Amino acid sequence: MKFKFHWGWGVGIVYSTFVVIFLGILLWSTQLKFDLEDKDYYQKELSYQKQIDKIQRTQNLPEKIKIEIIDSKLVIKFPDFNGKGLTGKINFYRPSDSKLDFENSIIVNPNREMILPTSQLTQGLWKLKINFSVDGIEYYQEEALKV
């Protein structure tokens, strides 16, 4: 008996191929690693109006925060607050790998600059989340940085 290929077999092969590809993509997608920006994103969403106010205050400053890479050093220059104490933290967020995220306290020199070696940062895209306060007034700024 000779096997005869007709349109019914073709439809069956197409549907079977579709199911196999669909199951392969489904299996592949369950193996993907993805990082949420924050583990407690829901709680942060509830208090976001405070964050909006901080961002607005930062945007209203006459002098902006400047971020530069100079001679293998990350230089973050803060506005002049007439010698008032500046305190806060900078979160270094790596969108592609949360294991590389870290946080630094803001320590500025007399020129209102915070200087960090770029050797702490692997090459690629970083998001700097600068959260600081002066005399109890809080400010916030996010900047993308490509190292």
Q: Report pLDDT digits (tens) over 32-67.
A: 776 666 667 777 777 788 889 999 999 999 999 999
> Cα 10 to the chain's mean position, in Å?
48
| H-state helical runs in the chain | 7-31, 41-46, 48-59
Confidence of residue 93 (pLDDT cuts 50, 70, 90): very high
CA distances in angstroms from 10 to 18, 20, 34, 72, 84, listed in the order given: 12, 15, 38, 62, 78
The domain limits of the chain are 1-32, 41-146
pLDDT digits over 107-124, tens only? 988 888 999 998 888 888
Q: Is 83's pLDDT higher than 80?
A: no
Q: Which fold has domain 41-146?
A: Immunoglobulin-like (2.60.40)
Confidence of residue 1 (pLDDT cuts 50, 70, 90): low
